[in-house]
Every structure is written in C-alpha cells, then in structure tokens.
Chains A and B, each alone.
Chain A
Amino acid sequence: MNALTSLLSLLIFPAGLTLIVFGMFYEWIDRKLIARFQNRVGPRWFQPFADTVKLLAKEQIIPSVANPFLFFGLPMVAVTGALTAAVYVPLIGFAPVSSFPGDLIVTIYLLSLLTLCIGLAGWNTSSRFSLIGATRALTQLFAYEAPFLLALLGPALAAGSWQISSINDYARNHWFAISQPVGFIVALIGLMGKLELPPFDAPEAETEIVAGALTEYSGRGLAMFKIGKSIELIVGITLVSAFYLGGLHGVLPFLVKTLAVLFLMAILQSLLTRLRIDQTVGMWWRFGSILVLAQILLTILLKGDLL
C-alpha cells in the first residue's frame, strides 16, 4: 500500500504527469506574458501541449555520425534528472514527496543534469551549430552554477539546514527576499541562466547557430528535451520562491508566489538584449559571484551575532 502511494505520488501527483502538465502551463504563461509585453497576441493556452504532441508523433532523424545509444539516451536522462529533482521540492505547495538532510545539493545537481545532457547531445550530433551551442551551454554552466548555488545557500545557512523541506518551513516566518535581496536577485537571474532564457540564450541564439546544441534533434528526442525544460522551469521557480518568498505551504500561496516569480522573469526576458557568451561569463564572475559571496558573509556574521 505504502509502495503504491509513493509510486502514485512519483508518477501522477504531485510529481510526474501533473508536473509535466503544470510545466507546460507555466511555459504557456511565460510565452503569453512575453508576447503581451512585446505587443503581440501570443499563443493560445494549449499551444505547448499541441507542440509536444506534434513533436512526439513526428519522425526522429538520427544523424549518421551520431552514436544512436547516446542520441536516444540523453533526452531520457535529461527528463529523468528533472523529474527526480522535482521529488525533493514542495510542488504545488505540498510537502516534498521525498526528503533527507542535504537534498538541496542533490536537487541542484540533478537540475544541472539537463544542461549536461544538452551539452553532450550537441557534441554527439557533431553538427557545427550544435558543437558551438554545446560549448556555449557548458561554458555558461560554469558561469552561473556557482553563484546560483551560493544564492540558494544564503537561506540554507540562515535556516541552519541543508534540507529543502526544513528551509521551506523556516522560511514561513522569514522573507529572505527582504533580508537577503542580493541573493534573491542572483537566484532569479541564475535560474534564467539555467533555463537558457533571454538574455542568457546565447547557447541557442538562432541568429548565429540556428538551434544550438539541439539543432539536429527532431521528433521525440526534441520533445523530451522540451519537456525536461518545462519541468526544470517549474522546479526552479518552486525552489527559488520556497526559499526567498516565505515558503510554499498550500496551493494558493504556491500559485501566487511562483506566478509572481514567473512574471518577474518574463519582464526581464522581454527587457534584456542577449549577452554574448564572454559577456555572460564576465558578468557572473565579476558581479554575480562577488555580490552573493558578500551576502553570504553578511548572513554568517549576522547569524553569529544573533547566536
């Protein structure tokens, strides 16, 4: 019985299927918001679903030079990674399905798995556009990964725990977005980097390298990567809003807070011009890391004082 509940919670609700639907719905909201900001009509609500169904039904073309095992395997690993990460975060305001001390680190690494898979996929298909896209995706990973991790460590240090669920509970009475504003901004922008959203979309800058690492992907493989991305979108937003916006407890606070973060991200996406890869790396290491380090130092000092 117990095993059945866990399986259900993994595959259907709140992780699994529900998560995929939610992810696509959030993707639609993101696209629609940007469209409205840009004075366009934007897609209808079922567009991401229709896109996915269409892609899943389409033929998958394997480049002759690609290793077929990797070519089929990587999208699956990417989706699996993202889905597994979802298990540890308070999705839809419910307590995480699974939880153990230190799951924060595991989650962050599982979230990077998608980028790694995209990088490998780009290298594997060995098209010139994919190669450059893969290089850029991995270069960028090294730029935002550390600041993003540090930004999430701020609340963790304050809460004195490395467990997402307990930080979520602690955050109920502490709005870290107010006490650690720098951390919040870095986490938000880091999340945009992780999701390769503008202005960090150099790895898939269509005007230079077509679709970047995924140029050669079609059909199911591409659909899997897209699903992985929309899951990562929702897991990332959940994580950031659980940590910085007073925790996620209940469906309504979840919707309000995550949508607020999505709204902020949509504004940033429509306002900012794409950064060149050297500018991205420069920005993260020159400003992002240093600011967030200062923030953490401050947190540690203040916490020491309080104790």
Chain B
Amino acid sequence: MNIEQNLQKAEQLLTVWNKEATHPEANRLDVSISAGNLRPAVTALHNAHWGYLSAITGLDLGPASGEMEALYHFCNGAAITTLRIRLPRTHDASLPTIEDIIPPATFFERELHEMLGFKIKGAKSSDRLFIPDDWPEDVYPLRSDFSVEQAKPVEGRHANELPDEGVVGGNTFVVPIGPQHPALKEPGHFEFTVDGEIVTAARMRLGYAHRGIEKAAESRNWIQNLYLFERICGICSHTHSLAYSLGVEQLAKVEVTARAQAIRELVAGLERIHSHLLWLGVAAHEAGFDTLFMYSWRDRETVMNLLEQITGNRVNYSANVLGGVKCDIGLEQATAVKDGLNYLETRIRHYLEVVTTDTMFLNRTRGVGTISYVEAEEFGLLGPTARASGLVRDVRVEAPYGAYKHFPISAVTETNGDLEARCVVRLNELLVSCFAIRTILDNLPEGPLTVKMPRKIPAGETISRVEAPRGELFYYIKSSGGENPARVHIRTPSLCNWVSVLEKAVGRQLADAPMLIAGMDPCFSCNDRMITTVDQNGSRQSWSWKELRAYGIEYYKK
C-alpha cells in the first residue's frame, strides 16, 4: 500500500470519532478527536494493525489560549496519523490510559503526566519515572509558564524514594542495579526482586541526570539548537542532529543538495559501525567475555579515527548544518574510509563467526530473552531489537529519507528473537552499512555542500524520523514563525525498548538481567534530557540555564 492509501484507510477507520481532519504534509493525517473517544480510536487503529504508536507529544499552548494538546502519533511505513486531543489547561486535564492496549504507551503517558501535567486516568503505576521524588506536586517543567523558582524540593522527601533495604520476605529480596553500579555505567535504576537466583519482579527508574534539553530548546534559536541536540547523546549524535536538520528543512521547504545528503548518510553509516561495535563490547563484557570486549573496542578505534578524519571530531562530529553539511569528502578521505572499511569488514565477519560459534558465549545468548514476532509488535519494539524478532522496523527502509532514496539499504532481520539473534542482526547490519558507504563513495554526487537557510522558520509543525543505531528516532518540531522553535519533542528508541527488559527479566536468572539490559542497547542520555536539575555537593537543586552557564564560566576561571 502506498502512503495515500494508508492514510485513506486510517481516515476510514477513524471517521466515527473524527471531529476535523487535515493533511498538514503529504505523508501525514491529522485527526482531532475528543478525549472520551481516545480509547476506541486507538483500539480501532491497533486492531486494524495500522502501524504502531510511535510517540505521544504534549503541547502547552500557553496561558493565553488556556489549552493543551496531546498528540498521539501512529506510524505506518512513511504514513503518519496523528490523533490530536485538545484539553483545557487546568489541573483536571485528564486522558484515559491506553497502556492496556499498547504497553509501551505507559512510558509516553508518564512523560506526558510528569512534564505537562496531563492526568492519566486508569494508569497502573503512579511512580515517577523521570522527575525526582521531591519535585513539588502540580509543577510541570514543560509548561510554558514554568519557572525554576517553582521547583524547590519538597521538604522531608528525597530525590529518590526507593522502597528500601533488602528482604521482602523469605528468600526474596531486592537487588538494586544502578544508578551507580558496575553493570551500568549510566544512571538508570533497576530493581530486580530475586528469589534465590530467579528474578520475580522488575522495576525501573530514570531521570538521574536530566538536562532539560526540550525546555532549553525553546529559548535557543534554530541554529543553536542544532548543537544542543547533538549533545543529547555522544553515541548517536549525528542521528540527533540529522533528525533535527531534516525537520527544520522540511518546515523551511529547503531541499538539501544530493552531495550533502550522501555525506550525511555516509557519516550516519560510520556512526552505526561505531555504535554497534561499542554495543558488542558492552554485551560481551556483561556476559563476562572480556576478550571480545577488548578486541571489538580496539577495532572501533578505526572507525572513530575515520570519523575524526572526516569531521574533525571523534564524538560530537557536528557534520550537519541546517541546509547541508560542513565537511566534504575528498580523495584522501575516500581512500582512508575504504581502507578502514576493508579492515573493519574482515573483523566484523570474524565477530559474526565468534558470536554464532563460540559455545561458551552461546551459553549466555542462545535462547535467552527470546521475544517472538507477536511480542515484539505488542511491546512496540524498535530498531535491531525488533528486527531480531523478524519485525521490520527500520525507517531507512520503511520511509527512506535523505540519501536513502538514492542509496537504498536492505533491512536485516533474524527470526529467533534471542540475544544471539540481536548480536547477529547488529553485525550483519554493519556489513550492509559498509556496503552502502562504499556505494556512496563510488557515486558521490557533485554539488555544493550547503544551501541557504532562512533565519526565521515559517510557522508550522512537522515530524521527522530517522533510524538511529538503536531504532527509530522521532522528532516533533513546531515553529511559530520566530527565531526559536515553539516546541521540540524527542522520542528516543531506548524509551520504547525498555518494556522488553522488564517483561523478559522476570522468571530468568539474575545473571541474565545485565545481558537483557545490554541486549536492547540502552542509551540513558537518550532518556534523560528534560529537567534542569543538577547534583552538587550532595544538595540537589534546580538551576536555570543562566545560573548553570555562570557557574561553568566561574568554574573554568580557576
């Protein structure tokens, strides 16, 4: 089915509840419904297998209009249907929960509640996921009239109220993993209730290092934001800036040159290689196979050096600018990349052999955390985690963007859905990426690197999706015609994949839990980016960006 047919079908499915339907862009359908009709509408889309729930965006339209909006984005290939619900901007703006229909929605709904103050009726868990436990009630950081002074910690509460200390009863007790733990170098918190060695319950908590990026974006101009979003994640910084640039370019109706697009895809391919090799090392380390860990990270240096040679940076490459790229590929770089790829391809083939034949490693991966196709769909998994279960969720294939239209890639899938399959999918993907990079190098289109971008972006809203190494990265960008964006909402792939860990850890050995966490390639910097809180000398406080900047300048003067 092509995009138009898909959108027509969605419109038919939703006619009963449809208050007003528009087509803001060729691939989008925007349907306004009332809050009461949300559940039947979602059920209709879900039962008809019309795509998957990709994100829920909350919008505060400001005290002047007195309204808020919740946007439920469903993606089906390149087609996107948005259910738009408008509610009064009061404390009882409530939405019915859809987590029983679509399990991963629980994360989106909690974000919606904690950040914007939508009440979610019928939600199972009222724990806070992102904001600290001593954050005052009824203060919502993404509301447009939020000020830092409101966020004084509540007296007598801790930032992190953990149901504490050990024994639950009998042989059962809680093993905390994180926020500081050797298995997780990043600040997430998991509680595994174990009975002996068997995990009987799993819980998680995020938000230990929130940076308030979505909020910060509203007070920066379009160009500054590019560098801000690039710093959401050190591993997939290019995909973040790519998603943002693509979105802004769509809004400004600017077409980037073919050469710039090709270079963007090339850098994205190299980034995928670096990210997946990094993941392979982490997974091997979690399994206790440090030799593989050391070797894969050694080989990752090759691709890091290539990225440095092309862009000048090893981590936040800043290859993108609005309207193009800022680094060109010359003959020298092209040769270096090809040489590097020759080496990497032999190594990747070798690792592929290791992860499929090493008996001891297979002991820890084969048949562990198996997710069937049906479950993958139900959990709303994305990226390699979904593809390992045979579910093709790859924006590059489903909805090609940029250079992927001219240099298409094939989706790599496996059917077993266990940790072994996830290793194999990721490594095979690298071979595909290597091939794609070579094709681009051999057929690099001529042309300028950048086109002119306006300073002010025309009013409107757009959705930009790109395939990050971990899965679909979703950007919702709204402009009111000014120099700053009105709202940027980011839904990162890690957020969707958590369900797979929590569901699959239960009933398995504790020893498998770190492997399961690693198996979805979690990225905490992806998740922690919403509030301005800083830990300093043990006393937690919220800082405004201005104070933070002043502190930074003062700090480096010493």
Residues of A within 8 A of B (CB): 37-40, 128-129, 131-132, 135, 198-199, 201-202, 205-210, 270-279
Contact = CB atoms under 8 A, between A and B. Distances in A.
A275 B174 CA distance: 23
Given A132-B194, A208-B514, A273-B361, A38 B183 contact: no
B363 A128 contact: no
B298 A206 contact: no
Contact of A39 (B166, B298, B511, B514): B298
B166 A207 contact: no
A273 B288 contact: yes
Contact of B511 (A38, A205, A206, A271): A205
Contacts of B363: 273, 275-276, 279
B290 A270 contact: yes
A207 B290 contact: no
B56 interface: no
B30 interface: no
Given A132-B194, A207-B286, A279-B363, A270 B291 contact: yes
A40 B183 contact: no
A274 B175 contact: no
B197 A278 contact: yes
Contact of A276 (B166, B194, B512): B512
Nearest to B165: A128
Contacts of A276: 363-364, 509, 511-512
B295 A39 contact: yes
B514 A275 contact: no
Contacts of A274: 287-289, 364
Interface in B153-211: 166, 173-177, 181-183, 194, 196-197
17 contacts: A37-B291, A128-B176, A132-B510, A198-B290, A199-B360, A207-B182, A207-B285, A207-B286, A207-B514, A208-B183, A208-B513, A208-B514, A270-B290, A271-B360, A276-B364, A276-B512, A277-B197
Contact of B175 (A40, A129, A206, A270): A129
Nearest to A199: B360
Contact of A128 (B175, B196, B509): B175
Contacts of B148: none
Contacts of A132: 175, 194, 197, 510
A3 B17 CA distance: 99
Nearest to A131: B173
Interface string B11-50: 0000000000000000000000000000000000000000
B360 A38 contact: no
Contacts of B360: 199, 271-273, 275
Please classify the interface of chain A as helix (H, G, I), strand (E, B), loop, or mixed, using the class held by over half of its residues.
helix
A-B pairs with the 8 shortest C-beta distances? A274-B288, A207-B183, A273-B289, A38-B294, A273-B360, A206-B182, A276-B511, A207-B514
Contacts of A207: 182-183, 285-286, 288, 514
A205 B197 CA distance: 13
A276 B199 CA distance: 14
B358 interface: yes
Nearest to A40: B294
Given A199-B360, A278-B197, 10 more contacts: A39-B295, A40-B294, A135-B196, A198-B288, A201-B288, A202-B511, A206-B182, A274-B288, A277-B509, A277-B511
Given A202-B511, A275-B363, A128 B173 contact: yes
A283 to B, nearest CB: 9
Nearest to B361: A273
A271 B182 contact: no
A39 B298 CA distance: 8
Interface string B240-253: 00000000000000
Contacts of B510: 132, 208-209
A151 B286 CA distance: 32
Contacts of B173: 128, 131
A202 B363 CA distance: 14
A210 to B, nearest CB: 6
Nearest to A276: B511
Contacts of A271: 291, 360
Contacts of B290: 38, 198, 270
Nearest to A210: B182
Nearest to B183: A207
Given A128-B173, A207-B286, A273 B294 contact: no
A206 B291 contact: no
A209 B298 contact: no
Nearest to A126: B166
B18 to A, nearest CB: 51
A198 B364 CA distance: 14
Interface string B259-296: 00000000000000000000000001111111100110
Most buried by B among A208, A274, A279: A208
Interface in B482-522: 509-514
Contacts of A131: 173
A38 B295 CA distance: 7
A209 B509 CA distance: 13
Nearest to A202: B511
A266 to B, nearest CB: 11
Nearest to A200: B288
Interface in B415-456: none
Contacts of B166: 128
A110 B37 CA distance: 73
A299 to B, nearest CB: 29
Contact of A206 (B183, B196, B364, B509): B183
B173 to A, nearest CB: 6
A118 to B, nearest CB: 18
A129 B510 CA distance: 11
Interface string B122-141: 00000000000000000000
Contacts of A128: 166, 173-176
Contacts of A209: 175, 510
Contacts of B294: 38-40
A303 B192 CA distance: 54
A205 B509 contact: no
A209 B295 CA distance: 25
A279 B363 CA distance: 8
Contacts of B176: 128
Interface in B344-372: 358, 360-361, 363-364
A271 to B, nearest CB: 7
Contacts of A38: 290-291, 294-295
A218 B314 CA distance: 38
Contacts of B197: 132, 135, 277-278
B145 to A, nearest CB: 44
Nearest to B181: A210
Nearest to A139: B197
Nearest to A198: B288
B421 to A, nearest CB: 17
Contacts of B288: 198-199, 201-202, 205, 207, 273-274
A240 to B, nearest CB: 22
Contacts of A129: 175
A202 B511 CA distance: 8
Nearest to B192: A208
A100 B284 CA distance: 47
B509 to A, nearest CB: 6
Contacts of B361: 273
Contacts of B298: 39
A188 B321 CA distance: 60
A270 B512 CA distance: 21
A205 B510 CA distance: 11
B223 to A, nearest CB: 41
